[in-house]
Amino acid sequence: MSGISTAGIDVSAATLDVMRQGADGRRALEQFPNTAAGHRRLGRWLAAGGGPVRVVLEATGVYHRAVTRALARTAGVEVMVANPRAVAAFARALTLRAHTDRTMASVLCGYALHMTFRPWQAPSPAAQQLQVVARRLAQLTGAQTEEKNRLHALTTSGDAPPAVLRDVRQQLRGLKQRLLTLTREAQRLIDGAPQLRQAAHHLISIPGIAQTSAIQLLGELALLAPDLTVRQWVAHAGLDVRIVQSGTSVLARPRLSKVGNARIRAALYLPALTALQHEPHVRAFHQQLVARGKAPQQAVAAVMRKLLHAIYGMLKADTDWDGARFRRLPDAA
């Protein structure tokens, strides 16, 4: 780290609180607006020391994206987007007495100095746009489900005014059309990018994954750094198992951490259930877990995790689904 400065940025919707530590150990704290002009000022301020700068910030919804891209284009600056879970663990180890924007900027600066630095790699524009479209599709799908439930309740009650029923049905027709329009846009983005198109082809080869699930999964997975391991994929999705243990006694039952990208878990849930019904290798894996004493939902979670492992391997090896690789059937052993 000799000759390298570090910086931590606490990102909010309106501002960027930045702590920079020079190669000489001196620290400086500044605040910049989270705007295009603020990003340019921040880049000049970071580069003013003359040497290379390593910057760490957290993934904070959408607010970190523009500044991350701006810093990645700044000469002499490397930027890392850290997992909030890892940063929170680092902050706990420091036993901070306060949690403010400024203290978090200091924590992130220390993270840049002491922890493994993984430079952010910009995803393709098509992948970034696909994620935005896929997330909007998920929002509209949720709204459609709510309206369908509302229509069912109103119809069942028998006392809903006709005007209300017409309004809900009109809303459902509008949502259906918007979903079709955005689905076509997502497919256009996928078809226009060879890497996305090939990945989508592999995903759809999995029993239980069709166009809708493939769009949702690809919208999240395509933005992950290409050098992540499968275990990091699993942790990113919150499908890793958390074990609480003291001495020789397990104090709590192992359970999913659910600390990660809930959208990946949501996109895997229904495909896992469908695969249990229609894919014999997946069904055999699930039955084996239940026979060993796993609760049904625990076994479903294990299927989701193993499906994610399979997807990782398929995309890395550029191959379609092979159920025998998921689990060999007893009579094929």
Query: How many Å apart are CA 223 and CA 130, to the nearest integer?
Result: 10
What CA–CA distances, in Å, run from 251 to 52, 242, 256? 47, 12, 15
Query: Tokens at residue 241, please?
Result: 């198992």
Q: Residue 244, SS3?
A: coil
Query: How many Å apart are CA 199 and CA 190, to the nearest integer?
Result: 9
Alpha helices, DSSP H, located in 158-210: 162-191, 194-204
Count of Cβ atoms closer than 10 Å to residue 112 Cβ = 28
* DSSP label at residue 253: -
pLDDT in tens, 132-156: 999 999 999 999 999 999 999 999 9
pLDDT in tens, the chain (333 residues): 457 899 999 999 999 999 999 988 899 999 999 999 999 999 999 988 778 999 999 987 788 999 999 999 999 999 999 888 788 889 888 877 667 778 899 999 999 999 999 999 889 999 999 999 999 999 999 999 999 999 999 999 989 999 999 999 999 999 999 999 999 999 999 999 999 999 999 999 999 999 999 999 999 999 998 888 999 899 889 898 765 554 555 555 666 777 778 999 999 999 999 999 999 999 999 999 999 999 999 999 999 999 999 999 999 999 999 999 998 887 644
pTM of this prediction? 0.83
